[in-house]
Structure 1
Amino acid sequence: MTDEREDSYDVVVVGGGAAGLGAALTLARVRRSVVVVDGGTPRNTPATGVHGLLALDGLPPAELLARGREEVRGYGGEVVSGVVGTVTRRDEVFVATLADGRAVRGRRLLAATGLTDELPDIPGLWQRWGRDVLHCPYCHGWEVRDQAIGVLATGPMSVHQALLFRQLSDDVTFFARGSAPAGEQARQLVARGIHVVEGDVAALEITGDRLAGVRLADGTVVEREVVAVSPRMVARAGFLAGVGLYPTAHPMGEYVAVDAAGRTEVPGVWAAGNVTDLAAQVGAAAAAGAAAAAQINADLVAEDTRLAAGDLERTQR
């Protein structure tokens, strides 16, 4: 890719995860010129496998993306490495400028950059993240079934998270971190036999290459094999500020708002996957990318038809 392509693509896709590659595959198959710019830092890198994805359950994340890139390229789409720093609009064309100074142009833009997980500042969480520190019972629950699970209170969904993990194990402890649940939430935990520890959490106890427990501020260690935590999920969307698009606040983080078709409030800009849906798993993200791609193609077809009609009218004058 040169410093700036003189020949614009139909669509620039920012982000090469499931949503971005799913969109690019759909677009390439209807003969749209499409480029995917990917920074190479997928959110699910720590995970050993992608779960709940029909016919591909357990496939390593890196292999899934490698297959996706190969498929996109097989239909003539391009996938390039780089991080998009800013996006601007010039004469109805979007210009995505990469951190290294390169730039790529497109008639439409799809943001599929996903999320960044922000964990509480508790020693050990990041060290074990994606292995025995988890957040999603649907992504990882089967692998930790019947184990001793601890759930750390981090926000409004933490009690709900504890109830979800209780489906997978009868040994679940809720660490309230100094603010014990009350009212209906407290009754729910008692009803499901979930033990509540009220003291503040100081760190995770790690022995060798495994989680051994949760250490409280008073030094007590509660033995646990798995810890579940709800991260604050933040859209990777800073590059969109150049076109006047900013994330929307959410109780669990922030996301890019779209309509049912995947359109943002900025004409010509779409978004799909975790950047707009905090709860989307890999299959849902890929499907959202494909659905947004169909809408983008329809929008381009309408524009191409208007331009062709205008040309025809001028030649007939």
Structure 2
Amino acid sequence: MSMENRPQNVPETVDVAVIGGSFAGLSAALYLGRARQRVVVYDLGETRNRFSTAGHGFLGQDGVAPAAIQAAGRADVLAYPTVQILAERVTQIERRGDVFAVQAKTLIHARRVILSYGMVDTLPALPGLAQGWGDWALQCPYCHGYENADRATGILMGADGLPHHASLLRAWTDDLTVFANGYQLTADEKASLAHAGIALHESPVVGFQADTAGLRVVQLQSGAAVACAVIYLTSRSAPACDLGEQLGCAQMDGPTGPYLEVDMMQQSSVPGVYAAGDLSRPVYGAVFAARDGAMAGVAAHQSLIPPL
């Protein structure tokens, strides 16, 4: 886009482009705005936690819907005149000399880039499961375990084997059932489950339905049907887009999928490019994402300060 066609309020060059405006990206923009840096945040509202009606474990925001926390964060950030939020999707990014060319609807050059576009979850292709994601189909007991304590709880196995949930969830309930979903458990794993009083169904799961009591009925290929209040599973995950790959950022292999490698200051393997939030860690959570974003914002700012 030429300068003649550029919207009046969109600069040609900014100090930092933040790609992704959830907990990590907004935290980075907040610190950068307070440092009076020119910042553009790109965000379309497609956050990973948009399926959840309440977030937990975030100090001062416990029980608040993630969308409400994000809305408050956007208001905080936009109070700083050097920060803008664009509802645009970045499709291409590359280094051009001392800046990065960030292509969305508008081409912007940024001196630094913070990648905070998060991850996407891939769920097993089982009827009824996707509709319950974030409601009764859950991943993190620290986020949802307290509200579902002492309820009938199912644990769905995946290709990675018996999940850590099987031992972890005993802190919240003794009413546990493992659904092997056709995967083979070892004799030792079966013995451990039996010793812990955890029920096991080895038949593949064919779908989920709601019953009249509001529970979820897990339907098995064997014909059996087991009612549970909630189901925990570990989804596979991957970066939400390929911008890190376009820039050549190194990746790490995590327990659920790849994520971008960063140092303690959230610097990626590419100078001038930082990553924050779920995209940059194997352990997820809003409070961790906010921490990463603040660190990335501070690190990006300090990298722009010329030496005395």
Q: TM-score, normalised by structure 2?
A: 0.92
Q: Kindly tell me: are residues 209 and 230 of structure 1, through their superposed partners in 2, closer, same or farther at Cα, counting changes over 3 Å? A: farther
Say whether residues 1:21 and 2:26 are aligned partners: yes
Q: CA deviation at 1:157?
A: 6.4
Q: Give the direction of change, closer, same or farther, for the CA distance of 1:165–1:19 in structure 2 (3 Å limit).
A: same
CA contact (8 A) 1:159 1:185 kept: no
Alpha carbons 1:176, 1:198 under 8 Å: kept: yes
Q: From the two aligned structures, give the one with the greater helix fraction.
A: 1
Q: How far 1:259 moved relative to its partner? A: 1.3
CA drift of 1:73 comes to: 1.0
1:81 CA displacement: 0.8
2:256 is matched with which residue? 252
The CA distance in 2 between the partners of 1:180 and 1:191, in whole Å, is 18
Q: Distance in 2 between matches of 1:236 and 1:108?
A: 20
Equivalence for 1:94: 100
Deviations 1:182-204 (A, max 9, x none): 25433432232111111111111
CA contact (8 A) 2:118 2:278 kept: yes
CA distance in 2, matches of 1:127, 1:209: 18
1:12 equivalent to 2:17? Answer yes
Q: 1:157 to 1:52 in 2, by over 3 A?
A: farther
TM superposition shift of 1:102: 2.0
1:141 aligns with 2:137: no
- One-letter amino acid of the structure 2 residue matched with residue 84 of structure 1: V
Instruction: List runs of 5+ in structure 2 lacking aligned partners.
Output: none
Cα distance, 1:211 vs structure 2? 4.1
- Matched to 2:68, the amino acid is E
**Aligned partner of residue 89 in structure 1, secondary structure:** strand
For 2:273, the equivalent position in structure 1 comes to 269
Q: Judging changes above 3 Å, is the alpha-carbon distance between structure 1 residues 179 and 242 closer, same or farther for their aligned structure 2 residues? A: closer
| Residue in structure 1 matched with residue 183 of structure 2 by the alignment | 179
1:118, 1:231 within 8 Å by CA — same for their partners in 2? yes
Contact 1:155 1:230 in 2 (8 A): no
Displacement of 1:245: 2.8
Tell me, in whole angstroms, the C-alpha distance in 2 between the residues paired with 1:35 and 1:163.
44
> Which residue of structure 2 aligns with residue 288 of structure 1?
292
Q: Does 1:54 align with 2:59?
A: yes
1:64 matches 2:69: yes
- Calculate percent identity across the aligned residue pairs: 34
Q: Contact 1:86 / 1:240 at 8 angstroms: preserved in 2?
A: no
1:74-89 maps to which residues of 2 (within 5 A)?
A: 74-76=79-81, 77-89=83-95
Q: What do residues 6-62 of structure 1 show as CA deviations (whole Å, max 9, x unaligned)?
A: 531110000001000001101111111111101211111111111011111011111
Cα root mean square deviation, aligned: 2.0
State the Cα distance separating 1:210 from its structure 2 match: 4.1
CA–CA distance in structure 1, aligned partners of residues 235 and 268 of structure 2: 25
The CA distance in 2 between the partners of 1:39 and 1:94, in whole Å, is: 21
Q: Amino acid of the residue matched to residue 232 of structure 1?
A: R
Alignment of 1:298 onto 2:302: yes
| Amino acid paired to 1:90 | R
Aligned residue number for residue 230 of structure 2: 226
- Aligned-partner SS, 1:109: strand
Aligned to 1:214: 218
- Consecutive unaligned residues of structure 1, counting only runs of 5 or more, are 310-317
One-letter amino acid matched to 2:218: V
Give the Cα separation in 1 of the matches to 2:278 and 2:178.
27
Aligned twin of 2:128: 124
* Distance (Å, rounded) in 1 between the aligned partners of 2:113 and 2:162: 35
Residue identity in the other structure for 1:233? S
**SS of 1:21 mapped into structure 2:** helix
Name the CA distance, whole Å, in 2 between partners of 1:46 and 1:107. Answer: 34
How many angstroms apart in 2 are the aligned matches of 1:44 and 1:67?
16
Give CA deviations for 1:48-104 in whole Å, capped at 9, x if unaligned.
111011111011111101111111111221111111111111121112112xx3222
Secondary structure, in 3 states, of the residue corresponding to 1:142?
Answer: coil
- Tell me: CA distance 1:54–1:155, structure 2 relative to 1, closer, same or farther (3 Å): farther
Contact 2:33-2:77 within 8 A present in 1 as well: yes
Q: Tell me how far apart the structure 2 counterparts of residues 260 and 64 of structure 1 sit (CA, whole Å).
A: 26
TM-score, normalization by structure 1: 0.89
User: What is residue 109 of structure 1 aligned with on the other side?
Assistant: 113
Tell me how far 1:246 sits from its aligned partner: 5.6
**Deviation per residue, 1:246-299 (Å, 9 max, x gap):** 644333111111111111111110001000113221011101110111111111
